[in-house]
């Protein structure tokens, strides 16, 4: 029986790289996202690696869409909660409430909607499972102009720890990956499509790539059944924290 792996937010960055890294002849990769054209292209790449691939085109911010798309799946062995974003970079008094809603609805509520459905099915099946949440160093290191994004990732950090306790007796592994600077579309989304400003975030540094995070996820999933990585922090060599980055 093929291992069924669901990756949310698979249309770019860490999610896309993870779907490709985990694709193998003994897997079925289930990819979700809002951009149908990108999902279709990724499906072809996943299948080229010998895996089966199922596309679910929906928005995790909608509980109804989560239920309609995920509940019919039944068994899922691995869930990678990757869907997330940052929007805006301003002091709290200048923040845009629409940006706040987008971050909280995606990073926190979307993760909860998906996890509830998948974890319930795992518990009922009684065969364990593995859930990995993509957090951030922002989940423990709040920084100026990032109040709501940092709050959302603090929530992911707390939820991951509580999920580990909640699902322990069911034999379900729960882990969190907390990256530092990763060069993806993250900053372009944060700055609402301003490519020049987004490029400046990575100027003078060799940031992590989505493939680096995918490699860590692959390693976490490859460990023996009695081993669990609760929390792993990954940063580029040039970074020592949210406020400490060496630029050449």
Residue 9 φ/ψ, nearest 5 degrees: 60, 50
**Within its chain, how far is the Cα of 213 from the centroid?**
10
> How far is 235 from 244, CA to CA, in rounded Å?
11
Q: What is the set of active-site residues?
A: 149
Residue closest to 180 by CA, chosen among 244, 233, 217, 108 = 233
Structure tokens at 81: 């909660």
Structure tokens at 173: 């592994």
């Amino acid at each position: 029986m093929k291992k069924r792996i669901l990756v949310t937010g698979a249309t770019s960055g860490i999610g896309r790289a993870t779907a490709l890294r985990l694709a193998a002849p003994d897997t079925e990769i289930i990819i979700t996202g809002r951009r149908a054209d990108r999902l279709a292209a990724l499906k072809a790449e996943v299948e080229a690696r010998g895996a089966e691939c199922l596309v679910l085109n929906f928005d995790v911010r909608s509980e109804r869409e989560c239920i309609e798309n995920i509940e019919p799946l039944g068994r899922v062995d691995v869930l990678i909660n990757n869907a997330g974003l940052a929007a805006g970079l301003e002091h709290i008094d200048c923040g845009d409430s629409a940006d706040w809603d987008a971050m909280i609805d995606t990073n926190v509520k979307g993760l909860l909607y998906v996890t509830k459905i998948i974890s319930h099915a795992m518990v009922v099946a009684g065969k364990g499972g593995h859930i990995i949440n993509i957090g951030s160093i922002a989940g423990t290191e709040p920084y100026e102009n990032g109040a709501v994004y940092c709050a959302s990732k603090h929530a992911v950090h707390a939820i991951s720890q509580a999920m580990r306790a909640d699902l322990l007796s069911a034999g379900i592994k729960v882990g969190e990956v907390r990256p530092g600077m990763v060069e993806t579309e993250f900053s372009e989304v944060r700055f609402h499509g301003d490519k020049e400003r987004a490029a400046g975030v990575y100027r003078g540094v060799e940031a992590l790539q989505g493939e680096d995070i995918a490699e860590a996820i692959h390693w976490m999933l490859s460990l023996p059944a009695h081993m669990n990585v609760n929390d792993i922090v990954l940063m580029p060599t040039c970074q020592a924290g949210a406020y400490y980055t060496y630029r050449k």
